[in-house]
Amino acid sequence: MSSPRSFTTAAESHSSPKSKKGSSPAIASSYESPSKRSKNTHSHFYRPVKKLPYELLNHAYVYMSEEGYSEAISLLTKFLEAGYGASDAQHPSSALVPPGQYISLLATLIVHPKYSTHAKSADAAEVCLKATTYIRSLARIVGSINVNLSELFKFPDDGSNRRSYKPTDDVLGGGLKLPQRIANSGSLWVSATSFWQVVGWAFNCSVRNKLRWTRWRQFLEVMVDVMEDDWAARLAQVDVVTQDTQGDILQKSLVWSYMRPESPGSSTGRRKILRAIFADGSKKSRQLYREVFYGESEPPKGEDTQSKGRLKKINIDENDFGDYETDSDNDETDEALVKRTRASRGRSSTLEDDSEFDEDLEQLTGADILGGIEALRLRQRLLDIMSEVSFHLPKLMTDQAELFDNITEFMNPLPCSVYPSLLYWPSMSLHTQNHLNSVLLFDIVRRSFPPKEINVYAPSVAHIKEHYLPSFAKTQSLSNHAKVVVILENILCNLIRRMKLDSELRADVQESVENGSFRISMSDGIARREKRALGDGRVKGKGLEGEEALGRKLLDASTMRLRLHMDMLESSKCYGRSMMTVPKTPSRARYVLIETPTPQKRKLFTDYLPPSSRRTSSSLSVLSETPELPSTPRASESGDDGGEADDRMR
């Protein structure tokens, strides 16, 4: 795709949101941020930080250096939470926090295979859970800025030297240095070259190795939470320091340390990030993102069921030290580790037999293509963060027009069956969803940007009727036409949501419904797509028997839902309702409470329902042919009565 500025960019909308044509103040106010995590809502109180006194630190050091991590984390948690209940913004009390090397080690323990999937005892397996809880508590109680996580959570590509790794001397002080390899050269922050290698490998595991994914998912959730909170806290600082241009403060964030391009506006770095976010376990993705820890993808070694989970007895008189001499990790030098890790990255991944598993990948449908719903939501949150950064730092990264252009390059080649789940984006603001949907649609339809006259953040009713609803793909692929209808369905859903905020838009929709132009435009698009969508036998998956067969089913289902959305609009017109309280999901459209209709209007409304719902029982008296109708509350009423009436409608 080309990249001319053929429509309003995010940076422009940020500077003058009310200047957009066709958008009311209610809609224009939503242009403040592409994510629902508004900087204005960040009012969390963080406790100040105080480094551990030497005596207390020495206790933690003894546990940590002897790899008694479970006891060490319990002790550090008590230090962190001491005085928490008595601390507030007016009378803050300091939280005791260990040196940065200890925090980095605890983050490593969240995903290290020795304490998760390869744990040899229940106590060892508990370490990763405790480490996860501690890092979450640390971010919640003292915040990422106070402990300088943007420095502690650095990877080699962020500026440190992998072979000469040294723990960061942070604001907490160096303290007692931990000697074990897992806290130094074997740390996560050295084993992985960049945060995006971790992201790519984790999402590969979400498709190919569910056992490892359970731990990497926990790590990504923690990291994304920390990144979002750190970004929100720095945005709050920008509000206070009004003379700041946002660049100096925001560039100190953890997010920016991972997304900083080699040169301002370079697309190479953005594509590298997006490639990791959309990692899908394919052969190409596995070549790009290999395992972080040596041998972590291999299944746990078999153990004697009698000794599993039990500690071996110690007999000092006979020089039998039980488990203390079985840990081979401490016997391996750093040079051997580096050579072994490089060798593991040079060979193919040992997740599973590649040829057999690649065949299984082709059978995946829906959200499973991208690792399931949990993986999908994490991918969306990372894309939200990218959108936030491009919104606030367009000169250093890029504007949203360019960013969504890059996102489209990775989203549109995906199979059609993943689109309904992928485009359901609860964390993204309404105007940003419209923007992304518009770019996706016109890439499939025209292979270009949306027309200049369209306000992609809040398209008008006239533009939806003229440019959106009649759209059809430029190819004969059933899969591409299914994607078009899914995108249109989302645009129409967003239109209904916008109608609650914008009375002028509501009036425009009402007028288009009454004169029939809305229905005509939608029907014209359906007819065009049915005529054009003949199927493309060249599509991978045996033509009409694979991806195209799924496209046919999705096209039919999405078209039916598109008609249902139109029926919702017309039914409210038929019964004289103002544009209404709309159900959140199309499947509940038939339960919208309505004013008492005339027999003619009652029959019209009944015709919109599927045959199974066209009943004439007393419990569904609104749809009954009898003229005597019980009084029912209006849809605008709230409370328990509405729920009881909803049950009667069922």
Residue 8 pLDDT > 90, yes or no?
A: no
3-state secondary structure of 113: helix
- Token digits for 302? 């078999």
Cα separation, 583 vs 577, whole angstroms: 15
Please check whether residues 455 and 422 belong to one and the same domain.
Answer: yes
Residue 151 lies in a domain: no
CA-closest candidate to residue 175, choices 95, 61, 269: 61
Q: What is the number of alpha carbons within 13 Å of residue 510 lying toward its C-beta?
A: 17
Please check whether residues 644 and 540 belong to one and the same domain.
Answer: no
* Contacts of 525 by beta carbon, 8 Å cutoff, 6+ apart: 469, 470, 471, 472, 488
Place of tokens 């995006």: 196
Please check whether residues 459 and 528 belong to one and the same domain.
Answer: yes
Q: What is the pLDDT of residue 315?
A: 60
Say how many C-beta atoms besides its own lie within 10 A of residue 374's C-beta: 15
- Residues 105, 76 contacting (CB under 8 angstroms): no
Residue 274 lies in a domain: no
Render pLDDT for 304-354 as a digit per residue (tens, 0 to 9): 444 444 445 666 665 565 555 444 444 444 444 444 444 444 444 444 455
Please check whether residues 583 and 556 belong to one and the same domain.
Answer: yes
Please check whether residues 490 and 537 belong to one and the same domain.
Answer: yes
What average pLDDT does the segment 461-490 reach?
93
* Contacts of 272 by beta carbon, 8 Å cutoff, 6+ apart: 196
3-state secondary structure of 165: coil
Which class for 137: exposed (0-12), middle (13-18), buried (19 or more C-beta within 10 A)? middle
Residue 438 lies in a domain: yes
**DSSP character string of 233-283:** HHHHHHHHSTTS-SHHHHTTSHHHHHH--SSTT-HHHHHHHHHHHT--S-H
What average pLDDT does the segment 587-609 reach?
37
Q: 588, 610, 626 — which closes off a domain?
A: 588
Q: What is the pLDDT of residue 176?
A: 81
Please check whether residues 579 and 500 belong to one and the same domain.
Answer: yes
Please check whether residues 604 and 583 belong to one and the same domain.
Answer: no
Residue 631 pLDDT > 60, yes or no?
A: no
What average pLDDT does the segment 582-605 reach?
37
Residue 98: which pLDDT band, with cuts at 50, 70 and 90?
Answer: very high
3-state secondary structure of 50: strand
Q: What is the pLDDT of residue 620?
A: 30
Residue 598 lies in a domain: yes
- Residues 231, 293 contacting (CB under 8 angstroms): no
Please check whether residues 487 and 544 belong to one and the same domain.
Answer: yes
Answer with the residue of higher pLDDT: 68 or 578.
68
Render pLDDT for 123-171 as a digit per residue (tens, 0 to 9): 888 999 999 999 999 999 999 999 999 899 999 876 544 444 454 444 4
Residue 8 lies in a domain: no
What average pLDDT does the segment 560-581 reach?
67
The total number of structural domains that make up the chain = 2
- Token digits for 629? 């109708």
Q: What is the pLDDT of residue 141?
A: 92
Q: 569, 588, 607 — which closes off a domain?
A: 588
Residue 88 lies in a domain: no
Residue 283 lies in a domain: no
Please check whether residues 449 and 525 belong to one and the same domain.
Answer: yes
Please check whether residues 537 and 435 belong to one and the same domain.
Answer: yes
- Token digits for 312? 């071996």
Residue 451: which pLDDT band, with cuts at 50, 70 and 90?
Answer: confident
Q: What is the pLDDT of residue 243?
A: 55
Residue 2: which pLDDT band, with cuts at 50, 70 and 90?
Answer: very low
Answer with the residue of higher pLDDT: 38 or 471.
471
Residue type, 342: R
Please check whether residues 582 and 602 belong to one and the same domain.
Answer: no
Residues of the chain with pLDDT > 90, as a percent, come to 41
- Token digits for 28? 């224009």
- Residues 35, 384 contacting (CB under 8 angstroms): yes
Residue 520 lies in a domain: yes
3-state secondary structure of 95: strand
Q: 570, 588, 606 — which closes off a domain?
A: 588
Domain span including residue 550: 417-588
Which class for 199: exposed (0-12), middle (13-18), buried (19 or more C-beta within 10 A)? buried
Q: Which pTM was predicted?
A: 0.76
Please check whether residues 440 and 567 belong to one and the same domain.
Answer: yes
